Amino acid sequence: MKNLNSHTGYLQIDHSNSPGIRAEDIPVRLRGITPIVGEGEVKEFDTKNCTHCESNIVLNPLRTRNREICPHCHHYICDRCYQILKATGQCIPFKKIVDKLFDSVVKGEPLIIIP
Amino acid sequence: MARWAGAVPSFTPVAVADATNMTDNGHHTIQGGSATQRGELREVYLGGQAGASSPTFMVVGRTSTVGGTLTPGRLAALDPSTAALGAPPVSYAASTTKPQRSSTLGILLNLSFNAFGGVVRWVNGPDEIISYLGNTSSLGELSLNCFTGGTPGLLGSNIIFETL
């Protein structure tokens, strides 16, 4: 039976013949979202994407707090989009933006995309 | 519809900050072929070709300024029977107006690795979609580019995507 953990994406980082990446090499803004794969290591990760902004998230198997789910579109969303959802109460999945764009085309309205 | 592969066989990415012009031949970007075209990423592959240790912080994301007057790069349909599109998407690395990575939507996928012997491959899940829409900012491009930091090294990139 399909659940939210089904059908993940796949990320492989192969440093089997490489010095790899050390934690101290990682720029500050990418810390916490960059998988650390050291010298001689090959790692594979499941990825999910946020249905609101389409960011891809490498699932951290050690995460203990809840992974946020949008109650409206019933899909994982990233922590940033969850904060927006909490503040505005609006679920705006990317597919909705696509629908609006094609509606605009059919109606001959100007194309204004504000993600 | 049809799957396409855009490739840059060998280039040294140039690290740029958000909302800053990218450098020609220092990024690999896919732009939609028309105002309503939609496409979805299927796979991104990076193969390191550097001759010395090069922590390279590659990211895939949207651009807040899209490229203009593009110099089309390598783009091929995977299926030989694919019908030619009236407005094909463009895979490019050089343009007159340079693309700029969005400060909010610029990191949709983090593909950091060491380009000295490292290999990265990302494949989308069936419901895990990164897509472009149209050919204008901020949704009309998906750019593979280098985040500031590290020592970007020579690599080859291949992006497989599907136009819808």
pLDDT one-digit tens code per residue, A18-60: 999 999 999 998 888 889 999 999 999 999 889 998 888 888 7
Counting Cβ atoms within 10 Å, is residue B143 exposed (0-12), middle (13-18) or buried (19+)? buried
pTM of the model: 0.90
Provide CB contacts within 8 A for A23, sequence distance 6+: A31, A36
- Chain A residues whose CB is inside 8 A of the B119 CB are 12-14
Cross-chain residue pair A56–B57, CB shorter than 8 Å: no
Which amino acid, residue B59? V
Counting Cβ atoms within 10 Å, is residue A72 exposed (0-12), middle (13-18) or buried (19+)? middle
From CA A110, how far away is CA A107, in angstroms rounded? 9
Residue A108 has pLDDT above 70, yes or no: yes
Residue A13 has pLDDT above 60, yes or no: yes
Provide CB contacts within 8 A for A65, sequence distance 6+: none
Give how far Cα A8 sits from Cα of A37, A59, A71, Å.
Answer: 20, 10, 19
C-beta neighbour count of A4 within 10 angstroms: 13
Residue B117 has pLDDT above 80, yes or no: yes
Q: In the prediction, which pLDDT does A6 show?
A: 76
A99 or A12, which is more confident: A12
- Chain B residues whose CB is inside 8 A of the A78 CB are none
The per-residue pLDDT for range A64-97, each reduced to its tens digit, is: 888 888 999 888 898 889 999 999 999 989 888 8
From CA A29, how far away is CA A53, in angstroms rounded? 18
The per-residue pLDDT for range B26-60, each reduced to its tens digit, is: 999 999 999 889 999 999 999 999 999 999 999 99
Which residues on neighbouring strands pair with residue B71, listed in sequence order?
Answer: B94
Residue B63 has pLDDT above 80, yes or no: yes
> Using CB atoms, which residue from A17, A21, A101 is nearest to B112?
A21
> Using CB atoms, which residue from B36, B113, B124 is nearest to A102?
B36
